[in-house]
Amino acid sequence: MCGINGIYAYHPSASAPAESELIATRDHMYRRGPDGIGAWWSEDRRIGFGHRRLSIQDLSERANQPMTDGSGRYVIVFNGEIYNYPELRRDLEAQGCVFRTTSDTEAILHLYALEGEAMVRRLRGMFAIAIWDRDARRLFFARDPYGIKPLYIANDGWTVRFASQVKALLAGGQISRDPEPAGVVGFYLWGSVPEPFTCYRDIRQLPAGHTQVVDAAGVHPSKPYSTVADVLAKAPNTLWTPTQVEARIQEAALDSVRAHLLADVEVGVFLSAGIDSGALLGLMRDAGQDKIRAITLGFKEFENTPEDETPLAREVAKLYQAEHVVRWVDEAEFKRDLPAILETMDQPSIDGVNTWFVSKAAHEAGLKVALSGLGGDELLAGYPSSRELPKWVKYLALPAAIPGMGAIGRAAYSLFKQAGVSPKLGGMLTYGGTYPGAYLLRRGLFLPFELKTVLDPELLSEGMRRLKPLERVAASMRPDPDSDMGRVCALESSNYMRNQLLRDSDWAGMAHSLEIRTPLVDCVLLEQVAPTLRAFGPRFGKQALAKSARKPLPTTITDRAKTGFGVPTGRWIANHNGPALVTKGDASRAWALGLVPPRPTQATVLEAAITPQATVHHAS
């Protein structure tokens, strides 16, 4: 796990990259890689790579990056982990490849030399990769199918720059800070910035499951090689009994956990009172890990209430004989950490505070790697959306298709909003009849018609034109997964999970030099479970996961109402900003308004939403 960056002056008339810019970008990411630093330049100084290393596999200096192959033709910087590295190495050695290290980075280099761009289909893991081919003078980018690891790219038509963080690219000093209206509008709609946009017009995220090439002709369009929807759509349509589904989930989950334990350092686990993290802990034990440390957050405001997860987490830790570490957090610590949270938050998000504190606790415990139960709800229909979206589409498709019905719904909301009617009720007839629209209703922070009272009109108009939110959501479920559970899985995995949960895990974990691994977000697991999605309804998949360890989770966990990974952020923000920001108890909206003031313009939005000093000043 690392921070990577580079600069390539591909246009013949472009100025040679400055070493000071490369180093400034690299060292802005020092928390991502405190164990080692590296830099490499081509002989003509037209391309340079930077790297900061968090040592997880092959802890020796021989595995440092940037790494060059034996011939000197290929150079790589790589952020992530390849969990099928042992199998790949055996296959590559059988083909005559000679290894100098025991790192997965070297396996990628050999694989690229043999198979070129197609090699990404053989990688199981999380990754953002940049490889320079000296002979072809070609720069190759790749990102994992789920988008677990970030890769941000800026192209000015002369020079391309890339890094693991948006703010690291800005730290280089050569990229415009002009705002991207689509990114700002996207944040207000969803509570996070949807890829490929960022809050800056000149910086883009390489989409998940895509590759891209840069050569003397410039930056070529990115090409998809794998999407969640495609995997779901290609799954065979076979009949499964409940017993068969449970067996498949058990086998596939154990296989994924075993793969995710690959490391030369200790691997811990985040433990809440939920099914996902508890099942992972049991599967870690089944996979043969002897020493397991489980990290649980406790909040003073929740102590001795139903929201306190520590008692049940303690019960699960005892069941699987794990060393249980409970880390208590209070409002005073939140206030002390808030400036650092906002400074480290690479793009604005209404979430991530929980991951910040549990990562902080893991780091304090001396861990460099921890498993997270993130992804179980998306894969196994654990969210309310798996029940609600199909119903909404079924019952609202016809009335929503009647001309003028959407306007009637919005007008009714305008009449009754003072009585506390949710704006989402006003949008049901506009959006509820299609999966993209229903998903916007379910996950939207603000609906598009509400933004007229929140955002500057010019910014809103341009942002909606560039973002095309409903079209973007619709694209995430193409090709059609052909089942209700498959469609919801594609929507949740490719939007909420990718743009918010995974991104928050990356910046919050890396802020504490912690690698967060997600065994339930795994391309092989997805392929194995996808054929079963048509066979079960909501909650069945999660209950099957709860039974997947040799010792199943107790009913105190499985029968507990779903609460999520709760943090009393709304209460803290109300105390910090004043109660006016908390409207009808909606902590998410309060958090958004705490980050960005109402009606920002293009000239002020980034200062308020992104600049750490300005944001903290606004929140205090």
Instruction: Say what the pLDDT of residue 559 is.
Output: 87
Instruction: Find the CATH number of the domain harbouring 323.
Output: 3.40.50.620
Instruction: Say what the pLDDT of residue 609 is.
Output: 38
- Residues 233 and 222 occupy one common structural domain: no
- Residues 297 and 359 occupy one common structural domain: yes
User: N- to C-terminal Cα distance for the chain?
Assistant: 34
**Ordered alpha helix ranges (H), 199-349:** 228-234, 242-260, 275-286, 310-319, 331-344
Boundary of a domain, candidates 484, 510, 545: 484
Amino acid at 516: I
- Residues 335 and 199 occupy one common structural domain: no
- Residues 160 and 78 occupy one common structural domain: yes
Q: What is the mean pLDDT of the chain?
A: 89
- Residues 150 and 202 occupy one common structural domain: yes
Distance of CA 73 to the CA centre of its chain: 33
- Residues 530 and 465 occupy one common structural domain: no
Beta carbons of 10 and 160 less than 8 angstroms apart: yes
Instruction: Find the CATH number of the domain harbouring 72.
Output: 3.60.20.10
- Residues 455 and 517 occupy one common structural domain: no
Instruction: Say what the pLDDT of residue 408 is.
Output: 61
User: Which residues of the chain fall below pLDDT 70?
Assistant: 405-423, 562-566, 570, 573-620
Instruction: State residue 484 phi and psi, 5-degree precision.
Output: -60, -45
- Residues 170 and 37 occupy one common structural domain: yes
Write down the pTM of the prediction.
Answer: 0.92
Q: What percent of the chain has pLDDT over 70?
A: 88
- Residues 279 and 304 occupy one common structural domain: yes
pLDDT in tens, 132-187: 999 999 999 999 999 999 999 999 999 999 999 999 999 999 999 999 999 999 99
- HSE at residue 428, side-chain half, CA atoms within 13 A, is 17
- Residue 191: which domain range? 2-226
- Residues 236 and 348 occupy one common structural domain: yes
Please tell me the total count of domains within the chain: 4
Beta carbons of 222 and 211 less than 8 angstroms apart: yes
pLDDT in tens, 323-372: 999 999 999 999 999 889 989 999 999 889 999 999 999 999 999 999 99
- Residues 160 and 183 occupy one common structural domain: yes
Beta carbons of 185 and 464 less than 8 angstroms apart: yes
- Residues 187 and 116 occupy one common structural domain: yes
**Ordered alpha helix ranges (H), 417-564:** 423-426, 428-431, 435-443, 457-467, 469-475, 484-491, 503-510, 523-529, 540-546, 555-558
Boundary of a domain, candidates 456, 484, 512: 484
Give the span between the Cα atoms of 108 and 87, in whole angstroms: 12
Boundary of a domain, candidates 428, 458, 484: 484
**Count of C-beta atoms within a 10 Å radius of residue 127:** 21
